Structure 1
Amino acid sequence: MPDPTPYAVALADDIAHRLNQLTEHLAQAPPRQAAQILGRILDADEGVLGRMAGLMATGSQTAQHRAQAGAFPPEVFLALGRAANELHNIALDLDEHADDIHHLATPPTAAHPAVAKPVASDMVVRRHR
């Protein structure tokens, strides 16, 4: 008997599972590899964060059409739109650090010797509303 789960639902489940795997790899990665992983995740255009913002924007548009047809409550598309905007803003904030992450991810060469190791500092948390 074939699986009755629609392909897109199974795809979402698979992506969630793979994100869990990526989280485990990131937690155990050495510094350079962690920087490489973070660089790919945080890329505002092609990375996971940028793609997730795009997915939320598409979800908001889809939910808006469904709400106009009476199938979804309007609060759903509004919440998805806010989520898309927040993710986009977070991606822009993190994009400021893309060069630092790229340098940490790139092995030193004779032309570009290793820069000073980053030192621990107090964490600063910014939240936009």
Structure 2
Amino acid sequence: MTNPPLSVQLADDIAHQLGKLTHLLSQSPAHEAAQLLVKVLDHDEGVLGRVTELVATGSRFAQEHSQRGILHPEVWLALGRAANELDSVSEDLNEYTGTIKQLATPATRAASPAARPTGSAMVVRRHR
């Protein structure tokens, strides 16, 4: 049996590393978890931004192959929609990275008031 192409191996490695990162996030103290989230959520250089760029590139690939009749147009549309949604979510989250970054900064944590923000009972869910 032949080895998968380097690109497929890289995708497998990245998926495995993301699994490790998820585990580390769940086990990290708040300031480290905040540092990690800031890196992940960075709209331009973070994991979410890079995944969005990857899906957008996949959409362009699907567009070309759909126009040539190799892929169904629905594949192109689904990838384009996914890229747009990821970009929108990334932009929305980018608004909050400053707040998360404050938790990651030791000086800010030490100087923060004793009152903690309270959780909100409101949960908004999107249904499709």
The TM-score normalised by the length of structure 2 is 0.88
Look up the match of 1:91. Answer: 90
1:115 matched to 2:112? The reply is yes
Counting helix residues as a fraction of each chain, which structure ranks higher?
2
C-alpha RMSD of the superposition: 2.2
Question: For 2:21 and 2:80, how far apart are their aligned partners in 1?
Answer: 26
Q: Which runs of 5+ in 2 are unaligned?
A: none
How many aligned positions are there?
A: 126
- Within a 5 Å distance, the mapping from 1:46-85 to structure 2 comes to 46-85=45-84
Q: Is the alpha carbon distance of 1:128 and 1:86 closer, same or farther for their aligned partners in structure 2, counting shifts above 3 Å? A: farther
1:30 matched to 2:36? The reply is no
Task: Encode CA deviations 1:100-122: one digit per residue, 9 max, x unaligned.
Answer: 1111111117xx95213643402
Question: For 1:41 and 1:52, how far apart are their aligned partners in 2?
Answer: 10
Q: Is the alpha carbon distance of 1:113 and 1:21 closer, same or farther for their aligned partners in structure 2, counting shifts above 3 Å? A: closer
The TM-score normalised by the length of structure 1 is 0.88
Q: Which runs of 5+ in 1 are unaligned?
A: none
Question: For 1:92 and 1:127, how far apart are their aligned partners in 2?
Answer: 17
Q: Which amino acid aligns with 1:115?
A: S
SS across alignment from 1:121? coil
The structural deviation recorded for 1:128 is 8.9
The structural deviation recorded for 1:69 is 1.6
SS across alignment from 2:106? coil
The structural deviation recorded for 1:20 is 0.3
| % identity of equivalent residues | 54
Higher alpha-carbon deviation: 99-108 or 24-33: 99-108
SS across alignment from 2:107? coil
Question: For 2:41 and 2:47, how far apart are their aligned partners in 1?
Answer: 6
Q: Which amino acid aligns with 2:68?
A: A
